[in-house]
Chain A
Amino acid sequence: MPVQASPLENPAQQLEEQRRIQRIRDGEHEVFYQLIRPYERRVYAAAFAILRHEADAEDCAQEAVLKAFKHIRQFRAEARFSTWLIQIAVNEARMRRRKERAELVEPIEKDYDRDQEGAYTPREFADWREIPSEALERKEVREKLGEALGSLGQIYREVFVLRDMEQLSIEETSKALGISTAAVKTRLLRARLMLRDLLAPGLSGPWSIQLSFAKGTKSW
Chain B
Amino acid sequence: MVVSCEEVWREVSNYLDAEVEPGLRAAIEAHVRGCKRCTAVVDGTRNVVRLYGDERMLEVPLGFSRRLHQRLESDMAGSRRSFFGWMVAVAATVLVAGGFEVARSSVFGRPGLRSEHARASDHIPPDMMVVVADNGKTFHVAGCPFIHGKNKLRTISAHEAEQHGYAPCVRCMKKYLDTSARSLADEGDGSEFADSENPGLR
Contacts and interface: CB of A to CB of B under 8 A. Distances in A.
Contacts of A54: 61
Nearest to B10: A119
Scoring B17, B19, B39 by chain A CB atoms within 10 A of each residue's CB, the highest score goes to B17
A33 B44 contact: no
Given A119-B6, A200-B44, A219-B40, A3 B53 contact: yes
B16 to A, nearest CB: 8
**What is the predominant secondary structure among interface residues of chain B facing chain A?**
helix
Interface residues of A, number: 55
**What is the predominant secondary structure among interface residues of chain A facing chain B?**
helix
B72 A58 contact: no
Interface residues of B, number: 41
B135 interface: no
Interface in A164-187: 164-167, 170, 185
Contacts of B55: 2, 4
A69 interface: yes
Interface stretch (A7-15, A75-83, A92-100, A129-137): A129-137
Given A29-B76, A119-B9, A122-B9, A136 B56 contact: yes
A131 B54 CA distance: 12
Contacts of B76: 29, 69
Closest 4 CB pairs of A and B: A189-B13, A196-B44, A220-B40, A219-B36
21 contacts: A2-B53, A2-B55, A45-B60, A54-B61, A61-B64, A62-B68, A62-B71, A66-B71, A66-B72, A69-B75, A130-B47, A136-B54, A136-B57, A161-B58, A164-B52, A165-B52, A192-B48, A196-B44, A196-B48, A219-B36, A220-B40
